[in-house]
Structure formats: C-alpha cells, structure tokens
Amino acid sequence: MPIVALREILTDAFEHRYGVAAFNIVNNLTMRAVLDAAACAKAPVIIQTSVKTVRWEGAAILANAFREMAAGLAVPVSLHLDHCPDRKVISECIACGWNSVLFDGSALNVQENTAQTGAVVAEAHAAGVDVEGELEAIGRVEEGPGEADQPYSVEDAVSFIQSTKVDCFAPAIGNAHGLYHSEPSLDGDRVTAIVEKVGVPIALHGGTGMSQAQFDDLISRGCAKVNISTALKIAYIDAHKDYIGRFPHVYDPPELARFVHGAVQDMALDHIRRLGGEGRAW
Ligand code: 13P
C-alpha cells in the first residue's frame, strides 16, 4: 500500500535533506496528474487540499478518489489538509482518512493557538493522523511579498512546537502565497535555529516562484515539505486557455482533460525534480 503517514515521508526527506513537493490539487484531474508525475519520477509526493476544495468537492469524494488512485502506485503518497482554522473540517477530514492536517491557528493569540493546536494533535494522533502547526500567519503576496510578520521569537516557536507536539512546523520567513513580484528575501537562519533546537521537519509555504538557490538552501536547512499551489493553478487554467485557443471548434472533453493533465503533470515533474525528490521513493 503506497499511502503512508506524513511523518514517514518527512522523516526520510528531513534525514536525507531533499524536499517533498506538496501540491494543492483542485479536483480529480489534478490529483491524477500529480500522482502520475510522482510515479514517473519515482518520488514520494504529498497531495494537499485547501478547505475551499474540500468544501466544493466533498471530503469523502476526495478521500475515496485518493485511495483509488493511490492503490495502483508504487511510490509513497500522503493526503494532507492545508491551512484549516475550522476544527469541524479537521475532524471531518480525519474521519474520512486524511493522513495529516494543518491546523491554522495563526489568527488566535499564542496561548489559544497552542491550546487548540495541542487539542488537534491529541485528536489526530489518536486516529493515526499527523499534524502540521503554524504560529504566525503566512500571508499572500498581495499583502506584501517578503514582509510576512514574524511577531514571535525562535524561542516562542520552539515552545509552541514542544508544547503542542506537532509533527511538522510552518514558520513565516518572508514567504507568501501567490506570485512573487520579485525574488523574496527569505530568513533561512530562522529555519536553521528552529531545526537545531527541536529537530522537527519544516514546511516551506509559498513555494511557487522561489529560485533554485533558495530551494537548495532552505532544503539543506531542514525544509522537508515544500508547498506548491499557484504553479498548479496556473498550469491548469493556462492549459485550458491554450487548448481552446488551438482548437476553438473541438468539443471533446476527454481530449481537453488529457491535454490539461499533461500540462499539470509536466509542472509537477519539474517541481519534484527541482526539490531533489526524483528517485527517492522506497
Ligand atoms: P504558492 O501558492 O505560493 O505555491 O503557496 C502554496 C502554499 O504555501 C500552500 O499552503
């Protein structure tokens, strides 16, 4: 069975210092394209869903599709819930068979975030599900690239990780979600300081548009999970536009799907390779 715990995937990546791509898929087609890219690269991969995608597609439908598609694969894969501040959605995904969840308590004060994240860890671990934690908000590029707040010290982050017992931690290091207007200035020392103190794998958010040098540096410091969302959305939507532009009079949905699948698979393969994941499957 190729479906494995997030912890298992991240432990290997963290130990051997490569990055596992975590793609925010939006439907069955993109899930399949990412899984096909992982199989092609013989790489572990994380299928990630936003809360919006869970609400639109339905948790049970997504989880069943993931199980069906993963069953025929020979690479380790894991299903993860991205940024979720809603405990009901967390519980629903745990019940439906997600392998891990990110409880996003960044809008809460640190005491409340610590208490709620700790409660999510207890609930999730009892069900064999792993947890990513987040202390400070990781914003969107539109809010100011490279200017994400870091209101908490490294010691605060360490104490949050130790008290909550999260399996993976997502720090704000100047990264943001969306398309960077220019190369972001990223605080790699914050990653190193956290990793040296607690040895927990780090989740790098806002992966779209980071340079190869930034990936290499941050992965060498302990970023084992690298989130890619905007690049998938662009590949998916641009491929539709491209197909319709080329074949304006063709009304053949499976052919369109095949074309879009190819574009998303190529994007995923490229990121898997750039993060050093190729050939890492066990
Ligand atoms: P991008 O949209 O910048 O790739 O960020 C993805 C992400 O971090 C999802 O949590």
Residue 192 belongs to a domain with what CATH number?
3.20.20.70
Distance (Å, whole) CA 203 – CA 134 = 9
Query: Do the domain assignments include residue 16?
Result: yes
Average pLDDT over residues 137-152: 68
Query: Do the domain assignments include residue 112?
Result: yes
Structure confidence by residue, pLDDT tens digits, 39-76: 999 999 999 999 999 999 999 999 999 999 999 899 99
User: How far apart are the CA of 1 and the centre of ligand 1, in A?
Assistant: 28
Query: Do the domain assignments include residue 279?
Result: no
Active-site annotation holder among 82, 130, 167, 187: 82
User: How far apart are the CA of 231 and the centre of ligand 1, in A?
Assistant: 8
Query: Do the domain assignments include residue 168?
Result: yes
User: Looking at the predicted structure, is the pLDDT value of residue 143 above 80?
Assistant: no
Torsion of CA 240, 211, 226, 82, to 10 degrees: -50
Least confident of 15-29, 137-151, 228-242, 266-280: 137-151
Query: Which of 181-212 are b and which e, b meaning 16 or more Cβ less than 10 Å from the residue's Cβ?
Result: eeebebbbebbbbbbeebebbbbbbbbbbbee
Query: Do the domain assignments include residue 38?
Result: yes
Q: Which domain holds residue 182?
A: 6-274
Average pLDDT over residues 253-263: 98
Of 186, 240, 238, 237, residue with least CA distance to 209? 186
Report whether residue 205 contacts ligand 1, using a CB cutoff of 6 Å: yes
Grouping H, G, I as helix, E, B as strand and the rest as coil, residue 180 is coil
pTM of the model: 0.96
The packing angle between helices 188-198 and 154-164, to 10°, is 40
82 in active site: yes
Per the structure, the count of domains in the chain is 1
Distance (Å, whole) CA 250 – CA 244 = 8
Structure confidence by residue, pLDDT tens digits, 267-279: 999 999 999 999 9
Retrieve residue 50's tokens. 């936003």
Question: Ligand 1 test: best mutation among 136, 229, 234, 271, most atoms within 8 Å of CB?
Answer: 229
User: How far apart are the CA of 155 and the centre of ligand 1, in A?
Assistant: 26
Mind giving me the DSSP string for 203-221?
EE---TT--HHHHHHHHHH
